[in-house]
Chain A
Amino acid sequence: MEKVMRLAAEKGVVIFSKSSCCMCYAVKILFHELGVNPIVHEIDQDPEGKEMERALCRLGCNAPVPAVFIGGKLVGSTNEVMSLHLGGSLIPLLRPYQTLV
């Protein structure tokens, strides 16, 4: 859990993902489209991956991956990211971190 929280607190957009997960891939594509280069942690390639997955589940996301943090705060999974975006609230959150234009 500490590892997750430590990594999540990194400045910027942090995504916990699995290299085999295509929904994670879709979320990454969306962030690139919005001009953001997220920090991605592939937990299936991490030795502590299983524990990280359990920790992410405990944080309340309906799926452990993708789990998105912006500026250290948990945004949620795909559902939450999409809802925010369609509601127009995602881009304001991303503004400080938009590097690719």
Chain B
Amino acid sequence: MSSPSTQFATSRRMGIYEPVHQISMWAEPFKADCSPNTGTSTIIEVDTKMDKSEDTSQGTIGSSKKYDQEANKPPDKVLRRLAQNREAARKSRLRKKAYVQQLESSRLKLTQLEQELERLRQQGVYIGGSFDTSHLGLSGTVNTGTDAFEMEYGHWVEEQSRQVNELRTALQAHVTDIDLRLLVDSGMNHYYDLFRMKATAAKADVFYLISGMWRTSAERFFLWIGGFRPSELLKVLTPQLDPLTEQQVVDVYNLQQSSQQAEDALSQGLLKLQQTLSETLASDTVVAGSYMSQMTTAMGKLEALVSFVNQADHLRQQTLLQMSRILTTRQAARGLLALGDYFQRLRALSSLWAARPCEPA
């Protein structure tokens, strides 16, 4: 029994887990050929001999049994798992690389911010509260406002998916209008919940909200003041609501027009805000009065940004409300389903895009 024991000892020392290697090791003392069948039978023979022996290294027997099970699998499955392991390792290395890169750029940003802070302190500007660094999350103070929002939004998306599936089932099952109405109302309220959440988050960190970092990449492509453009969503929805009555067609068109006009007005107001903020910061301190008053004026401008985000969400809410008045219950249900599916597809697209195979840097 010495030679199999030596095999055990060798495998433990080497500590490798490649079953292919194990097969050849096991097969050697019995001079088996390379075909899987003979390999298997010889291995089993070895195993039974081991069981009967007084060998106390139970652990190694157990682990070698595992290797045997690996060796018993047809080679193509083994090869596939090896390929998967390689792929997983490669992905892990890429993730690590990305993480390290992010850390390094964060470190650089931190140094820059510390220098800026020191400069401002020397100029006598009061630096108080959480020093916001948005999505880099560098500041010592944890920005609990945005963290809480991100978590809440995650739950919101899950609930959204659940509701969308419920709507789909209900529409296919042809439930009564009363039951459908309940689902429609929940759907509407769910969107209103989101706007409430966003209002709170806007007070905590408006830049985070308008950056859209809390949304997936494809959704961000359509970003307008912290969310979707209501008029664009109407264009997405309307074809899927057929058949509409003539009056409904007119009403939806008017709603789209009004929303577009309101959106344009808000966009122009925001441009004006950018201009005035830029002018405030660009003007010479002598003209502005003092560095302090310049900063105070600028801070006031930023407060206005919060009201723009709130107005944009108000527009979204009003659009939903008006649509629910124009449409029948069944149409509203189909509309909510179409909307939910649209967002889900955008999210799925974002994931696919993120996972697409890239040329290594």
CA gap between A22 and B304 in the complex, in Å: 7
Question: In which size bucket is the chain A interface?
Answer: 20 to 34
A29–B259 CB distance below 8 A? no
Q: How far is the CA of A88 from the CA of B326 in the complex (A)?
A: 12
A30/B262 in contact, CB under 8 A: yes
Closest to B297 in A: A20
Q: Contact check, B315 vs A82: say whether CB atoms are below 8 A apart.
A: yes
Q: Which of B55-63, B215-223, B266-274 contacts A (4 or more CB under 8 A)?
A: B266-274
B276 at the interface (CB under 8 A from A): yes
B269/A82 in contact, CB under 8 A: no
Q: B265 touching A27 by the CB < 8 A rule?
A: yes
B143 adjacent to chain A (CB < 8 Å): no
Q: Could you say which of B117-125, B173-181, B183-191, B306-314 contacts chain A? A: B306-314
Question: How far is it, in angstroms, between the C-alpha of A23 and the C-alpha of B262 when the chains are bound?
Answer: 12
| Docked CA distance A25–B315 (Å) | 17
Contact partner of A22 (CB less than 8 A), chosen from B262, B269, B314, is B269
Is A40 positioned at the interface, with any CB of B under 8 Å from its CB?
no
When the two chains form their complex, are residues A85 and B258 in contact, meaning their CB atoms are under 8 A apart? yes
Known: A22-B270, A22-B273. A30 touches B311 (CB 8 A): no
Q: How far is the CB of B254 from chain A (nearest CB, A)?
A: 6
Classify the interface of chain A: helix, strand, loop or mixed. helix
B251 contacts across to A, CB distance below 8 A:
88
Q: Mark B260-301, 1 if CB is under 8 A from A, else 0.
A: 011011101110110010000000000000000000000011
Cβ–Cβ < 8 Å partners of B315 in chain A: 82, 86
Which of B157-204 touch A at CB < 8 Å? none
- When each residue 9-24 of chain A gets 1 if its CB lies under 8 Å from chain B and 0 otherwise, what string results? 0000000000011110
**Residue A34 is within 8 A (CB to CB) of chain B in the complex:** yes
The answer for the CA separation of A87 and B325 in the assembled complex, in Å, is 10
Whether the Cβ atoms of A86 and B262 lie closer than 8 Å is yes
Q: Are A86 and B270 in contact, with the CB atoms below 8 A?
A: no
Q: How far is the CA of A27 from the CA of B259 in the complex (A)?
A: 13
Q: How far is the CA of A78 from the CA of B265 in the complex (A)?
A: 11
Kindly list chain A residues whose C-beta atoms are within 8 Å of the C-beta of B308.
Answer: 22-23, 26
Contact with A along B228-263 (1 / 0, CB 8 A): 000000000000000000000001001100110110
Q: By the criterion CB–CB under 8 Å, are B314 and A79 in contact?
A: yes
Whether the Cβ atoms of A23 and B269 lie closer than 8 Å is yes
Contact of B304 with A25 in the complex, beta carbons under 8 Å: no
Contact A30 B322 (CB under 8 A): no
A87 to B262, CA, bound (A): 12
Residues of B close to A20: CB separation below 8 A: 276, 300
Measured CA separation A82–B308 after assembly (Å): 12
20 CB contacts below 8 A, A to B, read A20-B276, A20-B300, A22-B272, A22-B301, A22-B304, A26-B268, A26-B269, A26-B270, A26-B272, A26-B308, A26-B311, A27-B265, A34-B261, A83-B314, A85-B258, A86-B315, A87-B318, A88-B251, A88-B254, A90-B258
A positions within 8 Å CB-CB of B: 20-23, 25-27, 29-30, 33-34, 63, 78-79, 82-83, 85-88, 90
